[in-house]
Chain A
Amino acid sequence: MTNVLALEGGDDVWRLNLKGDWSPQALPQIEQQLAILPATLAGDLTCDWSEAAAPGIGPTWALLARISAADRLSVRHVGGPPRHLQFLRDLQVGRSAGAAAQHTQPDGSGPVGKLGRWALWQGAEARAAVGFFGRIVAVIGEAFGKPRALRLSSLVRHIYETGVTAIPIVALIAFLVSVIVAYLGAQQLARFGADIFVVDLIAIAMLREMGVLLTAIIVAGRSGSAFAAEIGVMQLNEETDALRAMGLNPIELLVVPRLLALVIALPLLTVVADAMGLAGGALLSYWQLQIPWPQFASRLHEALAPTTFWAGLVKAPVFALLIGSVGAYRGMQVRDSARELGRLTTLAVVQSIFLVILADAIFAVVFVHLDF
């Protein structure tokens, strides 16, 4: 490493010779060598620029910052200092005057302060969520008197986007999961010679639980995230503010159509998933257990209670409400930055899947008590 400065003198009279490369690119080595200047410099200092090549702004600033840290030093610049030196010195004077005027506030970063702020934040969050759901209900309530508020074309578009385009993936996953369940079930039941009960297993598992749960989780990943991201970007672009300023209600225009679309689409997707699940079970029973189609069908009739299908399907609109409102709510919370958008979209998916499973557990308990 070449030396870019040399200090000579003593007894309150110093001379600092600047030499070699002082361009912006040389800043890393300049700052290293500035750092090893003695901290106790005092008295008169002469900075000689005559041998410094192409001095840049960053290096000059680093030098000024270093020598102004020693306050008992009077500095003189000789040897053709760079043109921007005076410019930087003026800035420095203004800067220290401004810095002195600043004062610090207590920031409340202790554990009690943190707990308090967390509690306040949670309270505000809960209030905001209740307010949001209230506004959705208000819009839907108004729509009874004013059907135009339902935005039919927007509703149809969202049914297409959340429902029709999701059919392939929902069908495929329901089919595969049902094949897996039937395969594992067949192996266990065959040991007791109870092969035929695979049909009961498939029918009850798919129709009551798996069909609707799988569909809801896929839709949460597909549409819940899309709701949050679409509405979030509109928030960042101030589009929602523009709607409000035009006297339009973003809840009515953006949230309610998506929510209703999901409430319509998710039960229909569940029917698709149920059908594909039964098809998968029937196919595997035929291949693995040599149960012919007619026998599968008649066994299916015996296994199903009249309520089995509805016990699954009735959950779908509830799951749809949870997924749709969490997605839209998180989207409306996006403020200021791209990072917020990512964080809230993730949160929307995670929370809606969690809420779907929680609701499913509550349904299970309630159905047992109702003997449904």
Chain B
Amino acid sequence: MEAVGAEAVVRVCGLVNRFGGQIVHDRLDLEVRAGEIFGVVGGSGSGKSVLLRSILGLKSPDAGTVEIYGRDVNRLSRAERGALVQRFGVTFQNGALISSLSVAENIQLPLREYRRLREDTLAALAALYLSMVGLPADTAAKYPAQLSGGMIKRAALARALALEPKLLFLDEPTAGLDPISAAAFDQLLLYLHSQLALTVVMITHDLDTLFRTCSRAGVIIDGRMISDTLEGLVESSNPRIQAFFHGPRARAAEKERYG
């Protein structure tokens, strides 16, 4: 396992989110440290995606604070927010590529917005990020509707990397992929993580991905988060965590990791 700094890149304190009478998060705490790959797990409907939207500042929480690089995401001026969003990249569950733009234009979108570059440099950078995520060169001119699910996830990752952030948020990066594509994506993520010194926050319910890539993880149970190293979670005595990590599908994934 790589060296993990003590510095907290993402810090969530006492987060509360309610929809009507339904409480999704009940004083949830979370801390992600520089250089780690942090997995957020939990059953369907446990509020993983809402947590991500709260961290990104897309949803203002009912209570609590969210800090990225020490800045409270809900108390930023327009200019401060513009500066902060350049420091992290996000991929959404279904890719969220802009459907009327080609893949190259999607990757260039943040570059055009935040840097003033010549067309040939933009083309070269689009080619760079495509090859970085392992997509063939002719993908550049294609439109999102022409891509397979795995290619869309990779293209979305390329777009998230375009501004060279050190922090990545991935929402279900391997959901809907076949096991081979998912394993390839895990490899890609580990490779980029080591090459580019990234911090990654990954929402997933794919245990294979979790055990292959993550150094620490957090489980959302009853609106609160229990985070620990994977070994700690696996040996936890909490029956809900046990159910999650010791189901029939979990055992195979653990076996692969620990031999």
A, B from the same assembly = yes
| Chain A interfacial positions (CB closer than 8 Å to B) | 24-25, 27-28, 31, 35, 56-58, 61-62, 65, 83-84, 87-88, 91, 94-95, 98-99, 102, 335-339
State the CA gap A285–B136 with chains docked (Å). Answer: 75
Decide if B76 is an interface residue (CB 8 Å cutoff).
Answer: no
Decide if B195 is an interface residue (CB 8 Å cutoff).
Answer: yes
Q: In the complex the two chains form, is A91's CB within 8 Å of B115's CB?
A: no
User: Which residue of chain B is the closest to A66 with respect to CB atoms?
Assistant: B124
Q: In the complex the two chains form, is A102's CB within 8 Å of B163's CB?
A: no
Q: In the complex the two chains form, is B164's CB within 8 Å of A58's CB?
A: yes
- 8 A-B pairs with the lowest CB-CB distances in the bound complex, closest first: A336-B145, A337-B99, A339-B100, A24-B164, A91-B131, A61-B128, A31-B121, A87-B195
Q: In the complex the two chains form, is A102's CB within 8 Å of B132's CB?
A: no
User: Which residue of chain B is the closest to A84 with respect to CB atoms?
Assistant: B195
State the CA gap A24–B196 with chains docked (Å). Answer: 13
Q: In the complex the two chains form, is B115's CB within 8 Å of A61's CB?
A: no
Q: In the complex the two chains form, is B131's CB within 8 Å of A56's CB?
A: no
State the CA gap A157–B111 with chains docked (Å). Answer: 48
Shortest distance from the beta carbon of A69 to any chain B beta carbon, whole Å: 10
With A336-B143, A339-B100 in contact, is A88–B117 under 8 Å at CB?
no
Residue pairs across A and B with CB atoms within 8 Å: the count is: 60
Decide if B118 is an interface residue (CB 8 Å cutoff).
Answer: yes
User: Which residue of chain B is the closest to A60 with respect to CB atoms?
Assistant: B128
Shortest distance from the beta carbon of B47 to any chain A beta carbon, whole Å: 24
Chain B residues, CB < 8 A from A339:
99-100
Decide if B137 is an interface residue (CB 8 Å cutoff).
Answer: yes
Q: In the complex the two chains form, is B131's CB within 8 Å of A57's CB?
A: no
Chain B residues, CB < 8 A from A57:
128, 164, 196
State the CA gap A76–B116 with chains docked (Å). Answer: 30
Decide if B138 is an interface residue (CB 8 Å cutoff).
Answer: yes
Shortest distance from the beta carbon of B162 to any chain A beta carbon, whole Å: 9
Decide if B125 is an interface residue (CB 8 Å cutoff).
Answer: yes
Q: In the complex the two chains form, is A31's CB within 8 Å of B128's CB?
A: no
| Chain B interfacial positions (CB closer than 8 Å to A) | 99-100, 115-118, 121, 124-125, 127-128, 131-132, 136-138, 143-145, 163-164, 195-197
Q: In the complex the two chains form, is A25's CB within 8 Å of B115's CB?
A: yes
State the CA gap A91–B136 with chains docked (Å). Answer: 11
Shortest distance from the beta carbon of A126 to any chain B beta carbon, whole Å: 25
User: Which residue of chain A is the closest to B131 with respect to CB atoms?
Assistant: A91
Which of B115, B145, B164 makes the CB contact (< 8 A) with A335?
B145
Q: In the complex the two chains form, is A98's CB within 8 Å of B136's CB?
A: yes
Q: In the complex the two chains form, is A98's CB within 8 Å of B137's CB?
A: yes
State the CA gap A62–B118 with chains docked (Å). Answer: 11
Q: In the complex the two chains form, is A99's CB within 8 Å of B121's CB?
A: no
Shortest distance from the beta carbon of B157 to any chain A beta carbon, whole Å: 14
Shortest distance from the beta carbon of A94 to any chain B beta carbon, whole Å: 7
User: Which residue of chain A is the closest to B99 with respect to CB atoms?
Assistant: A337
Chain A residues, CB < 8 A from B124:
61-62, 65
In this complex, the member of A57, A84, A336 whose beta carbon has the largest number of chain B beta carbons within 10 angstroms is A57
Q: In the complex the two chains form, is B164's CB within 8 Å of A56's CB?
A: yes
Shortest distance from the beta carbon of A309 to any chain B beta carbon, whole Å: 48
Q: In the complex the two chains form, is B100's CB within 8 Å of A28's CB?
A: no
Grouping DSSP codes into helix (H, G, I), strand (E, B) and loop, the A interface class, with mixed when no group exceeds half, is: helix
Shortest distance from the beta carbon of A372 to any chain B beta carbon, whole Å: 49
With A25-B115, A62-B121, A339-B99 in contact, is A95–B131 under 8 Å at CB?
yes
Of the A-B pairs whose beta carbons lie under 8 Å apart in the complex, a sample of 8, sorted by A's number, is A27-B115, A28-B115, A28-B117, A58-B128, A61-B124, A62-B121, A98-B136, A98-B137
Beyond A57-B128, A58-B128, A98-B136, 5 extra complex contacts between A and B, CB < 8 Å: A28-B117, A56-B164, A57-B164, A84-B195, A336-B99
Chain B residues, CB < 8 A from A61:
124-125, 128
State the CA gap A31–B111 with chains docked (Å). Answer: 14
Chain A residues, CB < 8 A from B116:
28
With A24-B164, A57-B164, A61-B128 in contact, is A337–B145 under 8 Å at CB?
yes
Q: In the complex the two chains form, is A91's CB within 8 Å of B132's CB?
A: yes
Shortest distance from the beta carbon of A46 to any chain B beta carbon, whole Å: 23
With A102-B138, A337-B99, A337-B100 in contact, is A84–B143 under 8 Å at CB?
no
State the CA gap A99–B123 with chains docked (Å). Answer: 14
State the CA gap A298–B145 with chains docked (Å). Answer: 65
Shortest distance from the beta carbon of A237 to any chain B beta carbon, whole Å: 11
Shortest distance from the beta carbon of B209 to any chain A beta carbon, whole Å: 22
With A57-B196, A337-B99 in contact, is A27–B137 under 8 Å at CB?
no
Shortest distance from the beta carbon of A150 to any chain B beta carbon, whole Å: 35
Shortest distance from the beta carbon of A56 to any chain B beta carbon, whole Å: 5
Which of A88, A99, A337 makes the CB contact (< 8 A) with B128?
A88
Chain A residues, CB < 8 A from B117:
27-28, 31
Which of B121, B136, B138, B195 makes the CB contact (< 8 A) with A27?
B121
State the CA gap A338–B132 with chains docked (Å). Answer: 28
State the CA gap A95–B124 with chains docked (Å). Answer: 11
Q: In the complex the two chains form, is B127's CB within 8 Å of A95's CB?
A: yes
State the CA gap A84–B138 with chains docked (Å). Answer: 24
With A95-B127, A335-B145, A339-B100 in contact, is A31–B118 under 8 Å at CB?
yes
Q: In the complex the two chains form, is A337's CB within 8 Å of B121's CB?
A: no
User: Which residue of chain B is the closest to A236 with respect to CB atoms?
Assistant: B99
Chain A residues, CB < 8 A from B143:
336-337
State the CA gap A335–B115 with chains docked (Å). Answer: 33
Chain B residues, CB < 8 A from A27:
115, 117, 121
Chain B residues, CB < 8 A from A58:
125, 128, 164
Chain A residues, CB < 8 A from B137:
95, 98-99, 102
User: Which residue of chain A is the closest to B130 with respect to CB atoms?
Assistant: A95
State the CA gap A99–B124 with chains docked (Å). Answer: 13
State the CA gap A217–B251 with chains docked (Å). Answer: 65
User: Which residue of chain A is the closest to B191 with respect to CB atoms?
Assistant: A87
Chain A residues, CB < 8 A from B196:
57, 84
